[in-house]
Amino acid sequence: MAERGLLVLFGSQTGTAQDTAERVGREAQRRHLRCRVEALDSCDLANLIHEPLVVFVCATTGQGDPPDNMKMFWRFLFRKSLPASSLCQLDYAVLGLGDSSYPKFNFIAKKLHKRLLQLGGNPLLPVALGDDQHELGPDAVVDPWLVALWDKILALYPLPPGLEIISPDVRLPPKYTLHYLPEDSPHPESDLLQPAAPRAAPCELHPFAARVVSNQRVTAQSHFQDVRLIEFDIAGSGITFSAGDVVMIQPQNCPEDVQQFCQLLRLEPHRRFVLEPTEPGTSLPPLLPQPCTIQYLVTHYLDISCVPRRSFFELLASFSTNELEREKLQEFSSAQGQEELYGYCNRPRRTTLEALWDFPHSTCAIPADYLLDLIPRIRPRAFSIASSLLAHPERMQILVAVVRYKTRLSKPRRGLCSTWLASLNPEQGDVRVPLWVKKGGMKFPADPATPVIMIGPGTGVAPFRAAIQERVALGLRGNCLFFGCRHQSKDFYCQTEWEELVTKGFLTLFTAFSRDQEEKVYVQHRIRENGKLVWELLNSENAHIYLAG
């Protein structure tokens, strides 16, 4: 009989597709299938032709783009040189996660399904198109699709004699075992985030610890929105970037949240441990030192401020010794309870830490071994770079709006990364931020004669500040900027810089201050008023138009 094995490959940008892929992996384990769950770009593509059974779980990002961790796979798969029968031994299924409010809804999943078919693959099921806009979220499609998938797979690979599907009531083993080290074991004193000598350009697995040079509020104190212009020193990092590029920043949890989490789970912050994979061949989590302290794990790795997913409640229910709590947790993790879960979690943006507070009996029963199964890792955040190396050598600046808003919960919601960045004070010593750079989607014209029309309301102006600095340093004059904000006196970012460039003849500037007069005025009104100029630039001078916001 053929070996009962399944490979689950995911392309995930925000973690939803990864969470779903891990769910498929758990369901495979319950059916006694040997299963690996990997990011598409981590998998050895040459071996794909030998895989008999693969489930692909992929999100679509931006305007129909593949997520970052499947870009290499995507390029490989669409090579013209691949023979039409490359995947003729492959049974596959594609599960897409998308949002139908975008024109290219689930574009990547549809295109992947079609391409696998062209290469001779055999689809077990039609492609599933999960939709964020559905009132029950993507699970409305995912749940019934998975039921059909397991029927197909078990028909091809029946359960071995004497084995039953492991009941959902039985808890699966954790991915890693956490071994505490004796309190008195020696440990090297080292700062875990050192500005290490760069081996190559910094990347997600090897970020550069950039020193914060300045952190300046650029909105009036009386303005509701706190926006920061933050400057980093990147000397010696090997980082280069041009206008339109993006900096990725790895944030951390605030000390109060870390302390609360450790108290709730009765964890000793300074205890040191090593992780051991339960299954041989499972790699250790990247970016976690070995050995590691609980404090470091909770501060830098566990995303305790994210809105918990359905899988969180499913696992938490399995630890619960309190009947009332367990019933509620089981309801939240059932297909029927998704509307209620949405109302409890997603709508008010309740965090994982707050959910743990609400289930105290279950929370204090969580074994430390399961922490990495229960809580996802903190994802890096992307910011448009707001400066040019030609104007500020060895420096990088970003424009950050601090995310803070109210829901029905009494405590205001705060963005993890922007709140952390705003709290950093370079006057209090050496403050460092782990970062690396990614190519952006904006490319500015190579021909110096081509004028550029930039429309950047609010912090959307960030990439255009980089572009204007770059173009002015090169002596290019055809720069036209439409900028909008609420009040000229409160949130007109970089006002003096723009005005100087206007005086010197490098910039044509149009502003829209929406709340400074009776009727609201936005950038689109200014574009319409200056339609003649815009058309002239487009029609006669072949101008390029850029929009960010």
Render pLDDT for 444-473 as a digit per residue (tens, 0 to 9).
998 989 999 999 999 999 999 999 999 999
Integer Cα distance of 409 and 509 in angstroms: 42
| pLDDT over 90 (residue 311) | yes
Integer Cα distance of 266 and 284 in angstroms: 24
Exposure pattern of 475-495 as b/e (b: 16+ CB <10 Å)? ebebbbbbbbbbeeebbbbbb
Instruction: Read off the tokens for 528.
Output: 């319409």
Question: How does pLDDT run across 214-255, given as a tens digit for each residue?
Answer: 999 999 999 999 999 999 999 999 999 999 999 999 999 999
Using the structure block, give the residue that is written with the tokens 């970020």: 207
Considering only the top CATH level, what class is 5-156? alpha beta
Using the structure block, give the residue that is written with the tokens 């696992």: 315
295 by DSSP, 3-state: which? Answer: helix
pLDDT > 70: what percent of the chain? 97
- Phi and psi at 22, nearest 5°, equal -70, -30
Q: Where are the chain's structural domains?
A: 5-156, 208-252+380-438, 255-374, 452-547
Task: Report the CATH number of the 255-374 domain.
Answer: 1.20.990.10
| pLDDT over 70 (residue 92) | yes
**Within 10 Å of residue 289's Cβ, how many Cβ atoms?**
13
Mean pLDDT computed over 105-129: 96
Surface-to-core class of residue 528, CB atoms within 10 Å of its CB (0-12 exposed, 13-18 middle, 19+ buried): exposed
Exposure pattern of 322-331 as b/e (b: 16+ CB <10 Å)? eeebbebbbb
Query: 208-252+380-438: which CATH number, 3.10.105.10, 1.20.58.710, 3.40.50.10860, 2.40.30.10?
Result: 2.40.30.10
CA atoms lying within 13 Å on the CB side of residue 487: 10
CA distance readout (Å), 383 to 8, 117, 200, 418:
31, 37, 22, 10
Integer Cα distance of 498 and 517 in angstroms: 22
29 by DSSP, 3-state: which? Answer: helix
Mean pLDDT computed over 391-397: 98
Q: How much is the mean pLDDT over the chain?
A: 94
| pLDDT over 80 (residue 197) | no
Element (H, E) at 212: strand 208-217
| Nearest residue to 20 (alpha-carbon basis) of 193, 139, 116 | 139
Using the structure block, give the residue that is written with the tokens 């502003």: 511
| pLDDT over 50 (residue 505) | yes
Question: How does pLDDT run across 52-74, given as a tens digit for each residue?
Answer: 999 999 999 988 999 989 999 99
**Residue 199 — pLDDT band, cuts 50, 70, 90?**
low
**Within 10 Å of residue 35's Cβ, how many Cβ atoms?**
20
Integer Cα distance of 471 and 446 in angstroms: 11
CA distance readout (Å), 237 to 13, 128, 249, 389, 429:
26, 43, 15, 13, 20
Please write down the long-range contacts of 414-422, taking CB distance under 8 Å and 24 or more positions apart: 414/305, 416/251, 416/253, 416/303, 416/305, 416/306, 416/378, 416/381, 417/249, 417/251, 417/381, 418/381, 419/254, 420/251, 420/252, 420/254, 421/215, 421/228, 421/230, 421/249, 421/251, 422/215, 422/226, 422/228
Assign 3-class secondary structure to 216-230: EECCCCCCCCCEEEE
User: DSSP H helical segments within 428-492, as ranges?
Assistant: 462-473
Using the structure block, give the residue that is written with the tokens 């870390």: 258
Query: Please, what sign has the CA dihedral across residues 190, 191, 197, 202?
Result: positive
CA atoms lying within 13 Å on the CB side of residue 504: 14
**Within 10 Å of residue 419's Cβ, how many Cβ atoms?**
17
**Residue 198 — pLDDT band, cuts 50, 70, 90?**
very low
**Within 10 Å of residue 303's Cβ, how many Cβ atoms?**
19
Task: Report the CATH number of the 452-547 domain.
Answer: 3.40.50.80
Task: Give residues with Cβ within 8 angstroms of 486, minimum separation 6.
Answer: 223, 513, 514, 515, 516
Domain 5-156 shares a fold with domain 452-547: yes
